Structure 1
Amino acid sequence: MTLLEWFDKGFTYDEYKEQMKVNLAEMNSVYEQFALNESARAELQALKDVASKAIVLTEDWCGDALMNNPILMKIAKELEIEVHFVLRDSNLELMDQYLTNGTARSIPIFIFIDDKGNEKAVWGPRAPEAQSFVDDLREKLPSKDAVDFQERQKEMYKQIKQTYLADQELWHAVATSMIEKLKSNR
């Protein structure tokens, strides 16, 4: 399938939210609280011709998606980009073309395309600041064979989610990362 065909297959934002069973309230919370700052909005004005559409590879259970998807939607609104959501687990043919580090099916992945379906930029699954935050927490985990590994890992995921829901500085770092990716692929 072409990228345009994948785009056409995807859900609109409202359709995606309607089928969500996990993280809907959290994603809506980030969307309602986040606003692009004036600097980001000014940078986006120069990027209106970069892409006209975006394909989002995602799943509703993904913690990174609950933060990144609403931020993308604010950027897309500013750029007048149409966004469609494709579920990773039922569309591995597309996902496997966008593996993280060549091996991981990490999400979300944002594929920016033009009207003809040409790929213009790909972003995801995390901004560098979010990756650093997660890496720091992972370093503190005990080895996988430790008795308390699963408990500590659950605590780590809870801390990540809480941070993703509240850290507005991180939200702006995510937006900046997306904007920089779009700028670098002009």
Structure 2
Amino acid sequence: MNLMDWFQKGIPADEYIENMKENKERVKQIQSSFQIQKDEASFLTGLQTEQLKVIVLTEDWCGDAMLNVPILLEIARHSDMEVRFLYRDENLELMDQYLTNGTSRAIPIFIFINEQGEEKAVWGPRAQELQELVNSKRSSLPPLDHEDFADRQKEMYQELQEAYLTKRELWQEVYRSIKTSLAERLF
């Protein structure tokens, strides 16, 4: 299948969010609170002229998707990009073309395509600043075989989720990262 076929197979954003079993309220919370600054109008207008579509590879349990998807949807809303969602685990043929570091099925992955279905940009799974935050928290975990590893890892995920929900500077970093990726590839 080509990318336009994958896009057509995808679920529209409203349907994806409505059918979420995990993180639905958190996604809606970020989506209702995140705002793009007015001085971004020229960038968003430039995106609008590109007439892009976005394929999102994700799963609704993913904490990174919980943060990144609402920010993408706000960008899409302001630039008339249609977004479709594919569940990673049901679409490994596509996912395996977008592995992180060539090995990891990390999500979300945003694939921006033009009207002809040609890939124009890819972003994901995290903004660099967020990757550094995750790396820092992971470095404080005990070894995998340590008796406290599972509990400490669960605490780490809870701390990250709380940061993702409350630290608006992280939201802005995700926005800047997506914007930079698009600007480098398009303009």
Q: Do the two structures share a fold, i.e. TM-score over 0.5?
A: yes
How far apart, in 1, do the equivalents of 2:123 and 2:23 lie? 21
Give the equivalent residue in structure 2 for 1:64.
64
| Compared CA separation, residues 136 and 39, structure 1 to 2 (3 A) | farther
Shift of 1:164: 0.6
- Please tell me whether residue 116 in structure 1 is matched to residue 126 in structure 2: no
Q: CA RMSD in A?
A: 1.0
Shift of 1:16: 0.5
Query: What one-letter code is carried by the residue in structure 2 that aligns with 1:113?
Result: I
Q: Is the 8 A contact 2:51 2:80 kept in 1?
A: no
Give the equivalent residue in structure 2 for 1:81.
81
SS in 1 for 2:11: coil
Q: Is the 8 A contact 2:22 2:60 kept in 1?
A: yes
Q: Is the 8 A contact 1:50 1:120 kept in 2?
A: no
What do the CA deviations read for 1:109-167 (whole angstroms, capped 9, x no partner)?
Answer: 00000000000000000001110110110011111111111110000000010111111
**TM-score where L is the length of structure 2:** 0.96
- Identity among equivalent positions (%) equals 50
- Please tell me whether residue 33 in structure 1 is matched to residue 20 in structure 2: no
Query: What one-letter code is carried by the residue in structure 2 that aligns with 1:95?
Result: M
- Structure 1: unaligned runs, 5 residues or longer: none
Shift of 1:45: 2.5
Shift of 1:43: 2.6
What do the CA deviations read for 1:85-126 (whole angstroms, capped 9, x no partner)?
Answer: 000000000000000000000000000000000000000000
SS in 2 for 1:120: strand
How far apart, in 1, do the equivalents of 2:57 and 2:69 lie? 10
How far apart, in 2, do the equivalents of 1:13 and 1:84 lie? 6
- Structure 2: unaligned runs, 5 residues or longer: none
Q: Is the 8 A contact 2:107 2:125 kept in 1?
A: yes
Give the equivalent residue in structure 1 for 2:9.
9
